[in-house]
Amino acid sequence: MRLSTKGRYAVTAMLDLALNGQDGPVTLADISENQGISLSYLEQLFAALRAKKLVRGVRGPGGGYFLGREADEISIANIICAVDEWVEFTRCQGKQDCRGGQRCLTHSLWDDLSRQIYDFLEEITLADLVERGRNSDAGCDRHKGDQLLDEMTGKAA
């Protein structure tokens, strides 16, 4: 089990697709600028996401990326697993002896926890996040950037 900034990059990039992929594909160049992640690093992340069919690429001019499935069919666990490959279960696999059960016991307790976290993240989908964000008026502090923000998001001034 692992959860790092790499996973965060992947999730926010996928959120970007979920939010902006309605009318046509989203280019990595766009995401790069939106999220402040280098283009080439994004390409690496998306290679992993593509391998797990979480995104679908379209080449050529006007191309870009779509979500590989509906947003409510993609869990956070799916995304994290794709880029962080957390198959880090410590079920003392033969090699490492159990040191009288003590090490093995704590490992097994950790595995239980790891499983709980996985199940938790498996239940949260991209669609959930977008939906909850919409409801709770989650946005940045609306102080001075209001006009600019409203212009871009299409709200009336």
Partner DNA sequence: ATTATAACTTAGTAATTTACTAGGGAATTA
Partner DNA sequence: TAATTCCCTAGTAAATTACTAAGTTATAAT
- Give residue 150's Cα distance to chain centre: 26
Coil, strand or helix at 46: helix
Region from 35-43, 92-100, 125-133, 137-145 binding DNA, contact rule CB under 7 A: 35-43
User: Which residue, 37 or 127, has its beta carbon nearer to DNA?
Assistant: 37
Nearest to 65 by CA among 134, 16, 11, 135: 16
Least Å distance, CB 35 to a copy of itself, is 6
> What is the biggest distance separating any 2 CA atoms in the chain, rounded to whole angstroms?
69
Q: Kindly report the CA angle at 144 between 140 and 147, in degrees rounded to 5?
A: 90
Show the binding pattern over residues 64-93: x = contacts DNA (CB under 7 A), - = does not: xx------------------x---------
Q: Find all residues with CB under 8 Å of 56, minimum gap 6, and list them.
A: 50, 65, 66, 67, 68
> How far from each other are the two terminal CA atoms of the chain, in whole angstroms?
46
- If binding is defined by CB under 7 A, does position 131 make contact with DNA? no
- Residues at the site binding a copy of itself, with contacts judged by CB under 8 A: 1-5, 8, 11-12, 15-16, 19-20, 33-36, 76, 88, 90-92, 96-113, 116-117, 120-121, 124, 129-130, 132-133, 136, 138-141, 145, 148-149, 151-153
- Binding-site ranges for DNA (CB under 7 A): 2, 4-6, 9, 25-29, 37-41, 43-44, 46-47, 50, 57-65, 84
